Amino acid sequence: MQLHKRFTADQVKALLQGYCQGVMERQAVVEILGIGKTRFFALLEEYRQDPEHFSLVYERRSPKRLTHRVERALEKELREEKGLIDDPELPITTYNYSALRDRLKEQGMKVALSTLIERAKEKGCYQDRPRRATHDREVLTSSIGALIQHDASHHRWSPYTKERWVLITSLDDFSRRLLYADFHEQESSWAHIRAAETVVRRFGIPLQYYVDSLRVFRFVQGRDSFWRKQVLQTDEADPQWRQVMRVLGVDVIYALSPQAKGKIERPYRWLQDRIVRTCAREKLTRIDEVRAVLRHEVDRYNNHQVHSTTEEVPVIRFQKAQREGNSLLRPFAVPFPYSLPKDVFCLREKRMVNGYRRISLANHDIVVPGVPLREQVDVHCIPDIVRRVMEVRIWWRGSMVQSQNYPLKEFPRVHF
């Protein structure tokens, strides 16, 4: 029997609202309504678009032919899509018909996905889907904060700029929620440290981070050669980002291949598709303009998109886990002996106090009062990119003995 003959619109709305609020599972709603997965998500999309006017009443109509205006707009979008894919410098290589359908919808033109694909085949704007290799090394978690997948993507994000920007993201493995996403002009240890600081201070300290073997995260020694004497083995050097994780008490897991980081790679592809296409359509050239596009797409991904694996909206799944106490996130507190967060999230160096009770740092002689000669001190460097200042804080045996500010340009070896 048809759905509208068994339930009222208010009854179905109540069930869908319960699912959106995280108090009901999809399977329970499906069983109550007696519908399949496809019908459920169709109802859910209709409800989210206009909850107040949600209705089960529909009219049977024969499909209409596309108007000349829609056909022209569709062909224009397909040609632009093909131009983006054919550009070897842009990070998209496949067609995204769902994004194309959304763009047409924004222009007031509703076209079925099957119709889009049919027109794409007719106009030579279609690719067969490549057969993907099977991958069984998947990380599984059962709580938020158990694992944060962290990565960076370096691309030319708009066809109207020659610059390449780095997108850094952090994804909670259990909920698939993007906890951090931002563009940086250059990839650096400091950019990744600031990303970690944003996640930790907003959400809490996770149990583990999952990263690749990029030099920012890990020192990997290559093989010996006849010409080079090996000095340091893999992981014997301690990158700046890794030192921050150690202070926070966060374990780090290293992926051995790009395929092993599939959960973070899929959101990257999704963001790349949407961002590059929007930048091309709106002719964006500045990083702050592209950041606005990124924020819009992250909001769509986190708050409105049902994840294909979890079958839940990431934010709803994250918040539900928080309410149920299913979280391994620890509240952030500045660890002893430090008193300020900037002594945790900083760049670290070690220096030896010389015979004049000074240390040398970036061609600066800094006085360190109260520290015996030939003692080693910990140097914390905190860049302020906006004010172009480098704050240097020197610690010895659990106490800060000196603090100085210097122009940032006087530290040329440090990249931000």
What SS3 class is residue 262?
Answer: helix
List, run by run, the mean pLDDT of 10-residue segments along the chain (416 residues).
Answer: 80 89 88 87 87 73 73 86 79 79 84 86 79 51 93 87 91 94 92 96 96 71 50 61 94 72 62 84 91 93 87 94 96 94 95 93 91 95 93 95 93 62
Cis peptide before 335 (omega within 30 of 0): no
Which residues are registered as beta bridge partners of 167?
153, 183
Torsion angle, alpha carbons of 47, 49, 54, 60, to 10 = -100
Q: Which two tokens stand for residue 51?
A: 């909850």
| pLDDT attached to residue 36 | 87
> What pLDDT is recorded for position 221?
52
H or E, element range at 382: strand 376-384
**What is residue 133's predicted lDDT score, i.e. its pLDDT?**
52
The per-residue pLDDT for 258 is 54
Which H or E run contains 406?
strand 399-407
pLDDT value at position 106? Answer: 82
184 phi and psi angles, rounded to 5 deg:
-130, 145
279-305 b/e (C-beta count within 10 Å ≥ 16 → b): bbeeebeebebbbebbeebbeebbeeb
* Contact yes or no for 91/276 (Cβ under 8 A): yes
How is residue 397 written in tokens?
């045996």
Bridge partner list, 360: 365
pLDDT of residue 58: 61
SS3 172: strand
pLDDT at 224: 52
Return the CATH fold of 148-323: Nucleotidyltransferase; domain 5 (3.30.420)
pLDDT at position 347 is 94
Name the pairing type of β-strands 165-172 and 251-254.
unpaired
Q: What is the reported pLDDT for 264?
A: 54
pLDDT at 171: 93
C-alpha 393/C-alpha 381 separation (Å) is 7
Domain boundaries, the chain: 3-53, 68-122, 148-323, 341-410
Predicted pLDDT of residue 145? 96
Residues 139, 255: Cα–Cα separation, whole Å? 10
